[in-house]
């Protein structure tokens, strides 16, 4: 009888390799198999088994202080729920990095969101209380704080950006592991997770994908971001009846509401061009809905967003969630009309460039789209280009 082949699968490999029942080389932050096949790579070191509160009486254990300038960017203690050899496996290890990120979120990041987001109606206390009992929400709060630090501390940007990416992957893995357990009792943290994750991934897409990669790469990432935001939001939507009675009812109304049917002057002009192009009734209707979702003023004489800064930013973030899926398909295909609509959306980003999530991405996006489409589409892009130049 032939000897049995030795077991080669890794029991401590990434989630994707274990799911596919193949050996993982366990290289961090992304293993070779996931890197070669462009798959999401997430390492879980016992955290999926731990569904306790972030803090418990005997589990606050701080690791040695990490120096962002000298530490490796593949810090294995990136998760607040990773096991420590000095602790019981069920006890989360909290590093000094996590405490720094937690402090930064509560003292800086929340205030910046409150100034530019309708979610300011949600108190910091509400968010913190929800995160203390919800591991995936706590991971995402820390991830967003790390992302913000990567932008405001350029000399340490690469380090914090790596931490943000790893914490976000941990958050998504934990969320997916708990998806079947979501109910009315978890509606609040689920909605908060959806909102914060959406903001995080949009910032990643805008701020980092417009700094060098091709337009095709950016469009692929933008469509991917939209799919993720929509997916998490759809899960959160299962309990929206409960959210109506919650402490974040105002934020919920913004996320659920869609723009009215009245089009502003800029929207009307853009829609007229698309109708004149005779693209077919179905395609034209998809574009019409995407244009209608742009949060411009309903006053036909006013070509700019006239909402409050908080409401405007909330609706700008929500626009990719409200547009038809077909429009996103056209965008992924690089259709010129879809790109022109995206350029109009970019003007809204530019108008609110003081919000760190958007930065200068709006202006950069208009320029890249104009260069890609060329002189043939100058008339279509006249307003976006003029708006960028004027400001």
Query: pLDDT tens digits for 150-200?
Result: 999 999 999 999 999 999 999 999 988 887 677 767 778 888 888 889 889
Mean pLDDT of 359-388: 93
pTM of the model: 0.71
pLDDT range class, residue 362, cuts 50, 70, 90: very high
pLDDT range class, residue 302, cuts 50, 70, 90: very low
Cα distance between residue 318 and residue 212, in whole Å: 25
Mean pLDDT of 6-23: 70
Give the pLDDT score at 136: 93
User: For 141, what's the count of Cα atoms within 13 Å in the CB-facing half-sphere?
Assistant: 30
Mean pLDDT of 34-40: 75
Cα distance between residue 10 and residue 203, in whole Å: 34
Nearest to 263 by CA among 296, 287, 290: 296
The tokens 């244009």 sit on which residue? 291
Distances, alpha carbon 134 to alpha carbons 53, 72, 186, in Å: 7, 28, 9
User: For 64, what's the count of Cα atoms within 13 Å in the CB-facing half-sphere?
Assistant: 3
Give the pLDDT score at 12: 73
Give the pLDDT score at 301: 37
Q: Tokens at residue 42, please?
A: 């997430």
Mean pLDDT of 5-9: 51
Cα distance between residue 254 and residue 118, in whole Å: 7
Mean pLDDT of 386-390: 88
Give the pLDDT score at 24: 87
Which range, of 59-63, 99-103, 375-379, averages the lowest pLDDT?
59-63
Q: Tokens at residue 73, please?
A: 């960017």
pLDDT for 215 beyond 70 = yes
Range of 25-39, 127-141, 173-187, 202-216 with top mean pLDDT: 127-141
Range of 29-38, 186-195, 204-213, 317-326 with top mean pLDDT: 317-326
DSSP state of 45: S
Cα distance between residue 323 and residue 49, in whole Å: 37
Cα distance between residue 170 and residue 81, in whole Å: 9
Mean pLDDT of 324-341: 95
Residue count (the chain)? 391
User: For 295, what's the count of Cα atoms within 13 Å in the CB-facing half-sphere?
Assistant: 27
Question: DSSP per residue over 82-108, as a string?
Answer: ---TTS-TTSPP--HHHHHHHHHIIII
Average pLDDT, whole number, for the chain?
77
Q: Is 377 exposed, middle or buried (0-12, 13-18, 19+ CB in 10 A)?
A: middle
Mean pLDDT of 219-225: 90
Give the pLDDT score at 11: 61
Give the pLDDT score at 231: 82
Nearest to 80 by CA among 47, 125, 120: 47
pLDDT for 34 beyond 70 = yes
Angle at 177 between CA 175 and CA 181, to 5 degrees: 85
Query: pLDDT tens digits for 69-81?
Result: 444 444 444 445 4
Which range, of 65-69, 274-278, 310-314, averages the lowest pLDDT?
65-69
pLDDT range class, residue 213, cuts 50, 70, 90: low
Range of 141-155, 188-202, 203-217, 313-327 with top mean pLDDT: 141-155
Angle at 210 between CA 233 and CA 136, to 5 degrees: 30
Cα distance between residue 163 and residue 172, in whole Å: 14
User: What percent of the chain has pLDDT above 90?
Assistant: 37
pLDDT for 60 beyond 50 = no
Cα distance between residue 263 and residue 132, in whole Å: 43
Question: DSSP per residue over 155-214, as a string?
Answer: GGHHHHHHHHHHHHHHHHHHHHHHGGG--GGGHHHHHHHHHHHHHHHHHIIIIIHTSSS-
Query: Does residue 119 or residue 42 have the better pLDDT?
Result: 42
Cα distance between residue 236 and residue 191, in whole Å: 5
């Amino acid at each position: 009888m032939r000897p049995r082949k030795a077991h080669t699968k890794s029991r401590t490999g990434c989630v994707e390799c274990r799911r596919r029942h193949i050996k993982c080389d366990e290289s961090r932050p992304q293993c070779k198999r996931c890197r070669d096949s462009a798959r999401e790579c997430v390492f879980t070191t016992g955290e999926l088994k731990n569904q306790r509160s972030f803090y418990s009486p005997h589990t606050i254990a701080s690791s040695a202080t990490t120096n962002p300038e000298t530490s490796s960017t593949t810090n294995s203690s990136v998760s607040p729920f990773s096991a420590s050899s000095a602790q019981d496996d069920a006890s989360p290890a909290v590093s000094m990095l996590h405490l720094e990120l937690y402090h930064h979120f509560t003292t800086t990041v929340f205030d910046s969101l409150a100034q530019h987001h309708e979610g300011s109606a949600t108190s910091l206390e509400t968010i913190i209380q929800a995160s203390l009992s919800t591991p995936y929400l706590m991971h995402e709060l820390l991830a967003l704080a790390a992302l913000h630090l990567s932008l405001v501390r350029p000399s340490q940007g690469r380090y914090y950006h790596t931490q943000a990416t790893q914490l976000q992957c941990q958050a998504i893995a934990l969320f997916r592991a708990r998806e079947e357990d979501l109910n009315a009792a978890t509606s609040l943290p689920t909605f908060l997770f959806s909102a914060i994750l959406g903001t995080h991934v949009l910032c990643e897409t805008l701020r980092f994908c417009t700094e060098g990669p091709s337009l095709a790469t950016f469009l692929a990432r933008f469509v991917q971001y939209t799919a993720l935001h929509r997916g998490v939001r759809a899960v959160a939507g299962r309990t929206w009846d409960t959210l109506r009675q919650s402490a974040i009812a105002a934020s919920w109304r913004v996320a659920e509401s869609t723009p009215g049917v009245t089009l502003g002057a800029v929207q009307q002009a853009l829609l007229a061009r698309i109708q004149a192009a005779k693209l077919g009734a179905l395609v034209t209707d998809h574009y019409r809905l995407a244009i209608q979702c742009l949060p411009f003023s309903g006053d036909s004489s006013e070509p700019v967003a006239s909402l409050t800064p908080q409401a405007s930013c909330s609706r700008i973030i929500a626009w990719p969630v409200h547009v038809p899926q077909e429009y996103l398909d056209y965008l992924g295909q690089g259709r010129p009309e879809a790109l022109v609509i995206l350029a109009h959306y970019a003007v809204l980003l530019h108008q609110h460039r003081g919000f760190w999530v958007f930065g200068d991405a709006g202006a950069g996006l208009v320029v890249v789209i104009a260069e890609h489409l060329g002189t043939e589409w100058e008339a279509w892009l006249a307003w976006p280009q003029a708006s960028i130049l004027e400001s």
